[in-house]
Amino acid sequence: MTHISSPISADASTTGRAGADVLRRNAVTVTGADDAPVMVFGHGYGTDQTTWRAVADRFADGHRVVLFDYVGSGRSDISAYDARRYDSLEGYADDLIEVIDAVGARDVVFVGHSVSGMIGALASIRRPDLFSQLIMICPSPRYVNDGDYIGGFDREDVLDLLAAIETNQPGWAASLAPAVTARDDLPEVAERVRDLFATTAHEVATHFARVVFLSDVRHRLGEISVPTTVVQSVGDIICPPHIGEYLSRRIARCTLVRLDSAGHFVHLTEPGLVAEQISRAL
């Protein structure tokens, strides 16, 4: 059993200096047997790897489970945040590729929430050798409406959202968290999401939001060669239900799973259900 509770404890003789730096930079944690199949979990905007714990722990007995924080999130090294590198989703795809290389993995199952679904897609296009499967939870290739494409937000809505983060991040977090979790019966989940949104470094929260909500990966979907499962919450205001069908028609080897659930953070509100769908995809 291998457990890297802190990336600083990584063995530089096996990862190399550069690999050890990546493990530290992205606060990588690894559980499970060294020779087991590898699963990597990627978090969405404004959150961190802890949001995956209730799901990921269920796979540690049979897999090598890798969790990490994108630079600027969670316990990552904020000093490594470079606005030029992270001015597009490609910079975050770089993070993911470097994390997988640093832990010496190949043929990984990547499970990505929200924007991490598209980050994983971009990484798999560049390095298909690293991936055996993509599992996207509530992903979207484009959040802004564009002609006949309905992403869910008018451009003015996104600009208003960005302005709210810029001027009053705590207030924005408090108003958005209940709407995106959409579970009045689970106020503790809304509080957790609110706290994560509110405590993300302000520079990162504003810049990453602009990158995410103005991103457009639609033209790259046909390049995805890795088998893909899209898990769609039918009550998601961030990623409307029809987006799952849009993705399934444009990704060559794609299975669409619709969850009878509410909200964008189904891995927090329904971890057992999400884990069950991941197991079926595996």
Report domain extents, the chain. Answer: 7-142+217-281
Q: Report the alpha-carbon distance of residue 229 to residue 57 in Å, rounded.
A: 20
| Distance (Å) of CA 166 to CA 46, 115, 175, 193, 208 | 14, 20, 14, 18, 12
* pLDDT attached to residue 1: 36
State the burial class of residue 279 (Cβ atoms within 10 Å of its Cβ: 0-12, 13-18, 19+): exposed
Q: Report the alpha-carbon distance of residue 229 to residue 247 in Å, rounded.
A: 10
DSSP 5: S
Tokens of 13: 């003789």
Listed residue (11, 2, 229, 6) closest to 102, CA to CA: 11
Q: Report the alpha-carbon distance of residue 281 to residue 132 in Å, rounded.
A: 12
* pLDDT attached to residue 8: 32
Q: In this structure, what are the phi and psi dihedrals at residue 141, rounded to the nearest 5 degrees?
A: -85, -15
| Active site residue ranges | 114, 236, 264
| Distance (Å) of CA 94 to CA 89, 121, 129, 165 | 9, 12, 15, 26
Helix (H, G, I), strand (E, B) or coil at 198: helix
* pLDDT attached to residue 10: 40
* pLDDT attached to residue 15: 53
Provide CATH code, domain 7-142+217-281: 3.40.50.1820
Q: In this structure, what are the phi and psi dihedrals at residue 226, rounded to the nearest 5 degrees?
A: -80, 140
Q: Report the alpha-carbon distance of residue 164 to residue 238 in Å, rounded.
A: 17
Task: Please list, residue by residue across 198-219, b when 16 or more beta carbons sit within 10 angstroms of its beta carbon and e when fewer do.
Answer: bebeeebbbbbbbbbbebebbe
* pLDDT attached to residue 17: 76
pLDDT tens for the chain, 282 residues: list them: 344 433 333 443 345 777 889 999 999 999 998 899 999 999 999 999 999 999 999 999 999 999 999 999 999 999 999 999 999 999 999 999 999 999 999 999 999 999 999 999 999 999 999 999 999 999 999 999 999 999 999 999 999 999 999 999 999 999 999 999 999 999 999 999 999 999 999 999 999 999 999 999 999 999 999 999 999 998 899 999 899 999 999 999 999 999 989 999 999 999 999 999 999 999
